[in-house]
Structure 1
Amino acid sequence: MKCIAYSLVGVALSIAAPAMAKDVVVQMKNQGAGGAMVFEPAFVKADVGDTIRFVPTDKSHNAETIPNMLPTGVAPTVGGMNKEFVLSVTKPGVYGIKCKPHYSMGMIALVQVGKGPSANLGAARAVKLPPFAAKRMTPMLAQAK
């Protein structure tokens, strides 16, 4: 009888325990697998509550959100030059990220939060980006749901 009681308590605790949030690291690089001025990885899938850390591995980079590529109600945020930028994702949808000094060179990333469909995906696809940024963002938006 005690074994059954302990088993039931263990099952109840495992059901009640929240899922562990992930901590994802994205590097800001001058040169990477995707070419010059890149975030690696450039496309991240996450869940609400996860933390995405944009870490400068080379100098002269920042990370900040792209204002029109955020879920409704999420405020744009700007990271400092050569500083880690922490994005705590609080709502499902897609989050566009750029390095301001290298935005026109295509230094962008996309974070998809949740399993989809992302309510702001259509709006994100409609955002006008610099040509090279658009070239890199288009396949990422195609992967997002």
Structure 2
Amino acid sequence: MRSATRVMAGLLMAATVMIGGARAAEYEVRMLDRGEAGMMVFEPSTLRIAPGDSVRFRATQPGHSAESIPSMTPEGAPLFKGRLNEEITVTFDRPGIYGYQCKPHYAMGMVGVIMVGEGEAARANLEAARGVSHPPRARARFQRMFQGLAD
């Protein structure tokens, strides 16, 4: 009888933790031929999220993909790579700056940035990410995005 009571108490505690525990957020980034910022864009192109949050890259229009730029990813963080026209969801556990691109439209400036976490940990690889070489349109868009993240 005591063991049944302990099991029930354990189940109730687990349920309380699941109900009362913080829940990670999920954000959506759309892949677009034309958006508010021009042609070939991710909207939004810049996100600030917490560790453990997820981002769903939605193939809103055909011909796009979402994949991380390895030189713009925090050390030790996993890379992601969606196929053309594929909707993918990525969970970001490690703080830092993550640059990503649409592979077919990278040279046209179809890029984005996700900042995971806050403070120094979130900006740990910011200077390294800023130093990465890109085609002119991608470089110009990244520069605007980085200005917003520096605040």
Identify whether the pair has TM-score above 0.5, normalized to the shorter chain: yes
Q: TM-score by structure 2 length?
A: 0.83
3-state SS of the aligned residue for 1:68? Answer: helix
Q: Which runs of 5+ in 2 are unaligned?
A: 1-15
User: 1:138, CA displacement in angstroms?
Assistant: 0.5
Is 30-39 or 71-80 further displaced after alignment? 71-80
Q: Which runs of 5+ in 1 are unaligned?
A: 1-12
* CA distance in 1: counterparts of 2:39 and 2:144, whole angstroms: 17
* CA distance in 2: counterparts of 1:87 and 1:124, whole angstroms: 20
Task: Kindly tell me the number of residue pairs found equivalent between the two proteins.
Answer: 132
* CA distance in 2: counterparts of 1:26 and 1:104, whole angstroms: 19
User: 1:77, CA displacement in angstroms?
Assistant: 1.8
Equivalence for 1:18: 21
3-state SS of the aligned residue for 1:112? Answer: strand
Q: Which has the higher helix share?
A: 2
Q: RMSD over aligned Cα, in angstroms?
A: 1.5
User: 1:19, CA displacement in angstroms?
Assistant: 2.1
Report sequence identity in percent: 41
Q: How does 1:11-90 map to 2 (within 5 A)?
A: 17-90=20-93
User: 1:46, CA displacement in angstroms?
Assistant: 0.3
Q: TM-score by structure 1 length?
A: 0.86
1:110 aligns with 2:106: no
